[in-house]
Amino acid sequence: MSSTQEIVKCSFNPDDMGQLLYKEIYHKWIKVQELIAKDPILQNNVGDYGQSRDKLYEIYCKKAYKLHKLLNYSDEMIPGMVNSQFPETVVTVLHQTMFIPTIKYLGTEKQIEKWLPPSLNYEIVGCYAQTELGHGSDVQNLETTAVYDKNTEEFILNSPTISSTKWWIGDLGLTATHAVTHAQLFINGKHYGVQTFIVQVRDTHTHLPLKGIEVGDVGPKYGYNTKDNGYLRMNNVRIPREQMLMRYSKVSKAGEFIKAQNEKIGYATMMQVRTSIIFNTYISLAQGLAIGVRYSHFRRQFKDKNGIERPIIDYQTQQDKLIPLVADCYAQGFGCQRIKEILTENLKRINEKNDFSLMGDLHALLCCCKAVYTWNTHFGLDKIRQSLGGHGFLQSSGVCTIQTEFSPSCTYEGENTVLLLQTGRYLLKACNKAQKNQPINENVEYLHNLQSTLSQKATFTRQEQLLCPEIIRKLMRLHAAFYVNKMMLKMMEKAGEFGPKEAWNKHVGVSITEASIAHTYYWTFKTFLDTLIKIQDENIRSVLSNLCCLYGLQRIIDWPIGYFEGRFLTGEQLEIILNAKEYIFTLIKPDLLGLVDAFKFNENALRSDLVDPKPYEKLLQSAKLSSVNNEEYQKKLRSLTRQLREIPKL
């Protein structure tokens, strides 16, 4: 049976599932892919594999120019859609995802009026210069300085140490003309913390660095090499007072500093970016699965008793590699939808009512989901690559390039462990509030009546009971409560012995990250279940219910120790869970192709020889097109190999 026939036979309509996954951007998602696939400059070309870094940068500059002409980049969803279409990152993506949003969120109306039009028209290209050689996650200890000179109404920016060099700044190395720059503000010798400035780094006509600016590319990297991550040093660079972004914090002409009502507003851009990263965890994993699942239905190995080779997806071991990741992908997709809703509500409250009440809850949620989802996608993509056998190691398989481009997500815009610690701090505060019967956010409602909660146990005795998501939700709720309580008790013990700061830094870190991960798993499962309840289509609800259950069961199987340490589960119940997981595989397998078809990637976006109707022929064709196989290179090679053979023998 062909893949197309299996999609037609699945129990639901993949187009309807796609609309559930992408909601209001569904039609735009498909249209953007079609536009890119049809354009000779934008469409993916196997000949680009193996090109030098400088050549790839030129290719992607041309793509960026064409995309700017064809698409409306004032739509904040466009950059995320576009980036997933190519095996390398598009030049200027940080201009769209960080520079422009920072101006929108932190600029005054007058500043937005000045800077936004030239940014949208690409008269200037910006970047986001926060990270330094010496400090990344520790933003409060950045070393770049901005000293206000009230006589000239200017800020003087300097990089006073080697470690204050701005570093890893995307779009800065070769492309940007301007940088949103974070620096420690000083007025009359008094320190006012990190503030945000717009600094021009290159001339907009000659593209040469301006006076006092030293700028360049950081060099070759593990991957992500079309992205010109750069460095920046400043020596007495003067900018007008109006180039400090002043929607919230302000400096008057006379040098009076007016503090923002809520200092966390500086995280507004980062919140938008982390939401985009979370969306990309879903998209990248979905791409890898679309390739892995389709190829697993085509690829045949080993004959059955009738002498017919079996598709490798028929083997339980292959199902175990891929089907749980499909559940993860859907869970992360629905998690991202909910996060976008909260982000939108947060920005609305801030803009309309100056209400910052959601900031802390959203920040904690973004931190833990960014960390857990990026790790899961990174390691999931490697599992998919391995599931393809040797072919997965080829760039033309598509999966290894997706993984390489995705891998920086685990460290950029917040190193994952540090982010989990930030969520842990939020959980500790929520736990203390709950103990005092103070109100807490619904995301952490399980912290009320902790001791009563932790006295509960799983009561299921049969496999079929685990096809009910609510039973699994209660189990995962216990798990989250257990790890947060464990963290709190250890923090109290070690703080009493060493003091709070040393306890946090040296003795409780692992417990904090465990609590944050357990919280993330529970929140994600609960969000999946909340989505499920609202679905009207019975066929879609049925298959998603199975995926939801599998997502939860896989979390228990992968991390059972807390369930046993808390005495919530018995060994016999874990055996039932293992059997239930294998049974769910049999329920999901007939719908597997439909589930990945619902991701709605066309063949150009997947850029994989393995999803071609004739993958073996396509692999051979791509090999023949490799630059080392052309006649010109072969002539040069023959000369080199002849010299090698002529080496005198010992």
- Give whole-number Cα distances, 61 to 41, 51, 56, 174, 461, in Å: 11, 14, 8, 11, 60
CB 601, CB 29: distance < 8 Å: no
What is 124-260's CATH topology?
Butyryl-CoA Dehydrogenase, subunit A; domain 2 (2.40.110)
pLDDT above 90 (res 537): yes
Spans of all domains in the chain: 124-260, 423-591
Q: Is the dihedral of CA 560, 563, 566, 572 positive or negative?
A: negative
Which tokens hold the place of 341?
């809703």
Mean pLDDT of 353-358: 82
Q: Report the distance separating Cα 36 and Cα 288, nearest Å.
A: 19
Please give the positions annotated as active site: 413
From the number of C-beta atoms within 10 Å of its C-beta (0-12, 13-18, 19+), residue 199 rates as buried
- Amino acid present at 129: A
Q: What is the mean pLDDT of residues 264-291?
A: 86
Rounded to an integer, what distance in angstroms lies between the CA atom of residue 243 and that of residue 417? 34
Percent of the chain with pLDDT over 70: 96
Token pair, residue 31, equals 């249209």
The model's pLDDT over 358-384, given as tens digits with 9 standing for 90+, comes to 888 999 999 999 999 999 999 999 999
Q: pTM of the predicted model, to two decimals?
A: 0.91
Mean pLDDT of the chain: 90
Phi, psi for residue 360 in degrees, rounded to 5: -65, -45
**Cβ-contact 223, 404 below 8 angstroms:** yes
How many other C-beta atoms lie within 10 A of the C-beta of residue 190?
A: 9
- Give the CATH class of 423-591: mainly alpha
| 541-567 per-position pLDDT tens digit | 999 999 999 999 999 999 999 999 999
Largest CA distance in the chain: 91
Q: Could you give the CA distance from residue 233 to residue 319 in angstroms, rounded to a whole number?
A: 52
CA distance 271 to 367: 9
Among candidate residues 123, 125, 67, 65, the one with its CA nearest the CA of residue 98: 125
Residue environment code for 443-454, b if the CB has 16+ CB neighbours within 10 A, otherwise e? bbebbbebeebe
Helix (H), strand (E) at residue 594: helix 592-597
Choose between 183 and 227: higher pLDDT.
Answer: 183
Q: Are strands 250-251 and 257-258 parallel, antiparallel or unpaired?
A: antiparallel
Contact 171, 91 (CB under 8 A): yes
User: What is 280-295 written as a DSSP string?
Assistant: HHHHHHHHHHHHHHHH
Distance CA 47, CA 54 (A): 15
Contact 93, 76 (CB under 8 A): no
Contact 155, 147 (CB under 8 A): yes
Model confidence pLDDT, tens digit, residues 166-209: 999 999 999 999 999 999 999 999 999 999 999 999 999 999 99
Q: Under a CB-based contact definition with an 8 Å cutoff, are residues 198 and 191 in contact?
A: no
Report pLDDT digits (tens) over 586-614: 999 999 999 999 999 999 889 888 888 88
**H or E segment and range at residue 475:** helix 469-498
Of 240-254, 365-379, 514-528, 622-636, the range with the lowest mean pLDDT is 622-636
Q: Residue holding tokens 């696939």?
A: 37
pLDDT score, position 650:
60
CA Rg value for the chain: 27
Cβ–Cβ under 8 Å, residues 36 and 43: yes
